[in-house]
Amino acid sequence: MTELVLQALYSGVLAGGAYALVALGLALVFGTMRIINLAHGELVLLAAYIAYTVESRLGASPLAAIPAALLVVCAAAAAVHGVVSRIRVDREINSLIATFGIGVILTNAMLLIWSADVRSTSSHWLQEAVVAGPLFAMRGELLSFGASLVLMGALWWWLAKSWHGRAVRAVAGNRDAAQLMGVAPGRAELVAFVVAGMLAACAGVALYSVGVIQPALGAALTVKAFVITVLAGVGSIPGVLLGAVLLGVAEALTVTLASSALQELAGMGLFLLVLFVLPNGLLGARARRG
């Protein structure tokens, strides 16, 4: 039983890294524009299908699809921004409706192009088990977790050190004040969407490398990303990782100790518990001020 629990914890931490990679883009846009991009999961899934196409048609590793996924998904993210930026009245609710509609369009487009069949990688190298004592994981899971840490560190550095990153933070903090200081809010928001598209592209390739995909998965990815963003607290990148790991561990322990049918319920239970105890999230604004 002890080994099972340790394996569940290990698997949950690795799954949390993958969840964090999915949630980073949504958290960035939500923190910048206070808009929930309900098409984010579909953008991640689009990158996963590009990885499948590269592997199945060219016989290459799914990782070789990253450049193509970046190009397509960033273009799609810029198009989503183009739609959302035109909304002037009741921006929050109307942007929800608009991005939900875009998500439905993307889901049906993927159905038409790739059908509803379940797809998974055939790369033996990515599926090969890596054993560390009593614990084991697929090589793809370890790579996904490592990529998540690297991209989170890169995003943190970009937001803190680069001019565009500081402009995004300024718009997120106070849009009017940022404009008075010479920052173009529309351009900063476009940059945030494109960077979110880059993160979604990497997340999609990682998703295909470690699991199975099918067109209906996009909505579930959006829900998980939103749950993690709220758990983290708006604007907290370390909180995204912490919330994602907690979610992954809770789901893994539920599957191991109870039933796989309760996996989603455990995640939502954790979500409600954190909201009840810490309304600002795990590392929300109040914690950062402290």
Residue 288 has pLDDT above 50, yes or no: no
Between CA 226 and CA 40 the distance in angstroms is 10
Give the residue among 72, 90, 74 at the shortest CA–CA distance from 82: 74
At 38, give phi and psi (nearest 5°): -75, -5
pLDDT at site 287: 43
Q: What is the chain's mean pLDDT, rounded?
A: 88
What's the pLDDT score for residue 290? 34
Confidence check: pLDDT of 57 > 60: yes
Tell me the mean pLDDT in the region 248-257: 89
Q: What is the pLDDT of residue 208?
A: 95
Q: How close are the terminal C-alpha atoms of the chain, in Å?
A: 40
CATH number at residue 174: 1.10.3470
Question: 43-52, 120-129, 194-203, 233-242: lowest mean pLDDT where?
Answer: 233-242
Residue-level pLDDT at 235:
62
Q: How far is CA 66 from the centre of its chain?
A: 16
Which residue segment(s) compose the domain that 217 sits in? 2-289
Can you tell me the distance from the alpha carbon of 45 to that of 51, in angstroms, rounded to the nearest whole number? 10
pLDDT given at position 118: 93
What is the per-residue pLDDT across 75-117, written as a single tens digit (0 to 9) for each?
999 999 999 988 888 878 899 999 999 999 999 999 999 999 9
| Mean per-residue pLDDT, 8-14 | 91
> What percent of the chain has pLDDT above 90?
46
Total of domains in the chain: 1
Helix (H, G, I), strand (E, B) or coil at 282: coil
Given a cut of 50, is residue 124 above it in pLDDT?
yes
- Decide if 166 contacts 39 (C-beta within 8 A): no
Q: Which residues pair with 135 in a beta bridge?
A: 132
Is the pLDDT reported for residue 67 higher than 70?
Answer: yes
Could you give the CA distance from residue 65 to residue 44 in angstroms, rounded to a whole number?
13
Is the pLDDT score of 289 beyond 60? no
CB 99 within 8 A of CB 37: yes
Q: For residues 156 and 33, which has the higher predicted lDDT (pLDDT)?
A: 156
For residue 284, the model assigns a pLDDT of 59
Q: What is the chain's alpha carbon radius of gyration, rounded to the nearest angstrom?
A: 19
Does residue 169 register a pLDDT over 80?
Answer: yes
> Average pLDDT of 111-131?
91
Does the pLDDT at position 199 exceed 90?
A: yes
pLDDT (tens digit, 9 = 90+) per residue, 267-287? Answer: 888 888 887 887 776 765 544
- Is the pLDDT at 156 greater than 80? The verdict is yes
